[in-house]
Amino acid sequence: MKKNIVFCLVLLLGLFVLFACATAQSASGPAPSSAPVSAAPAAPPPASPSPPVAPVPPERAHALILDGAELYTVIKADTLSHIARLKYGAANGFYYPLIIMASRDIVEDQDVIEPNTVLTIPNLQANLNDAKARASMKNFFLEIAEITEREHKRPNDAVGLRRLAESL
């Protein structure tokens, strides 16, 4: 009886090994042939002339021109108006909605910006010189003025934003 069990185990083991070897060979693909392989690479297809490239329009976000925009990393105690004065000049703190427009996916609340946040600072003059960008700025500045007024925050900001928007 003991001999029969050993014989069956050896037979099963042999079948298992045979099956495992057959599976490994078929998974690795056919055996390589001994036929010589040509060493010459195929010739590349003839190059077709490329079509003329149209001039690239300025990159825009919400009608803003982002060509020439800078990146600014927020530091502790920064505010959007402080960054606007820093980047656009001391008298231009009310241009902070322009930074919000360019960084809309980052700035959710005009009163909350976290250190190490990277903001996009658009080129002010390029946007003032573009009618579409200027109109978009005007509408957005008026929207921010309304929000500021509605939330009873900084009433002078709402007045200043409205004046600036009307001058655009």
- How confident is the model over 22-45, as pLDDT tens digits? 555 544 455 444 444 445 555 555
State yes or no: pLDDT of 53 exceeds 90.
Answer: no
pLDDT at 102: 93
pLDDT at 151: 82
- C-alpha 50/C-alpha 64 separation (Å) is 31
- C-alpha 126/C-alpha 115 separation (Å) is 28
Q: Pick from 168, 112, 115, 165: which is nearest to 141 by CA? A: 165
- C-alpha 72/C-alpha 121 separation (Å) is 7
* Segments in 28-78 forming alpha helices (H): none
